[in-house]
Amino acid sequence: MSDPQGLSAYAELDLARAARRGYPEAVYCEGKTAQQVAGIAAAVRDRPDVTTLFTRASAEHAEAVLHELPDARHFPEARLLAWPAAPPAPAGGRVLVLAAGTSDVPVAQEALLTARYLGRDAGLIADVGVAGLHRVLGRIDELREADVVVVAAGMDGALPSVVAGLVSVPVVALPTSVGYGAAFGGIAALLSMLNACSPGVAVVNIDNGYGAGHLAAQIAAVRR
């Protein structure tokens, strides 16, 4: 299935990136054919020293990756595959991911797993939206132990503003497309987060769990 020799027609891998930037490149599967993803998977097979993440992978993409890299680990809910299967030993600070509602969990997990595979200690707390403030206030100790907090929320996107008012570390605000009508596929949450009345909120693209996890990993990196 793989077609490494034709790879240059559609992709130019950047395996030196881990060395150059400190973080490996991820393969964004959406918009690529299964055959192209397979081609890339085959090309990284002899570089087990570099962790490769396949993000936004459909079932068909996953099958293609697992055909080339049978021991890759697949997280279907987060639409992610990681190879090699084991994340590196954690270094640097603690990343805590919050999901405002149940429907925000898949994107939150993408952030969680990205942070882990980039080498951070990371955890996840689900269903702590602002409609029941006691939920988030009940977790304040965990919040204050983190070095960076990722907050995934759709609908009104109010949670990052509330969390940023409770902690002193940066909050990565991850808007999700959860909601309907005037949620506009995450725009309402995105705008809410960009206008957070608490400072210290770093916004990423809608449903961009990978980006949120990567940014959090950088913020919590071992300081030089």
Q: Please, which of residues 92-121 interact with its own copies by CB under 8 A?
A: 93, 100-103, 105
- Among 62, 66, 128, 152, contact with its own copies (rule: CB under 8 A): 128
Nearest to its own copies of 69, 178 (CB atom)? 178
Nearest to its own copies of 84, 166 (CB atom)? 166
Distance of CA 15 to the CA centre of its chain: 20
Site of tokens 């993409």: 61
Site of tokens 């959406």: 30
Q: Is 21 in the site for its own copies (CB under 8 A)?
A: yes
H runs (alpha helix) in 45-104: 59-68
CB 88 within 8 A of CB 113: no
H runs (alpha helix) in 46-183: 59-68, 105-117, 133-137, 140-145, 159-164
Euclidean distance between CA atoms 42 and 110, whole angstroms: 23
Nearest to its own copies of 87, 93 (CB atom)? 93
Nearest to its own copies of 68, 147 (CB atom)? 147
Q: Minimum Å distance from CB 111 to its own copies? A: 12
Using the 8-state DSSP alphabet, how is residue 88 labeled? P
Q: Minimum Å distance from CB 40 to its own copies? A: 9
Site for its own copies in 146-205 (CB under 8 A): 147, 155-158, 161-162, 164-170, 172, 175, 177-205
- Among 15, 23, 50, 123, contact with its own copies (rule: CB under 8 A): 23
Binding string to its own copies for residues 67 to 96, with x set by CB under 8 A, is what?
A: --------------------------x---
By CB under 8 A, how many residues form the interface with its own copies? Answer: 90
Q: Is 15 in the site for its own copies (CB under 8 A)?
A: no
CA distances for 180 relative to 13, 105, 161, 174, 187, angstroms? 38, 17, 21, 17, 11
CB 224 within 8 A of CB 152: no
Q: Is 141 in the site for its own copies (CB under 8 A)?
A: no
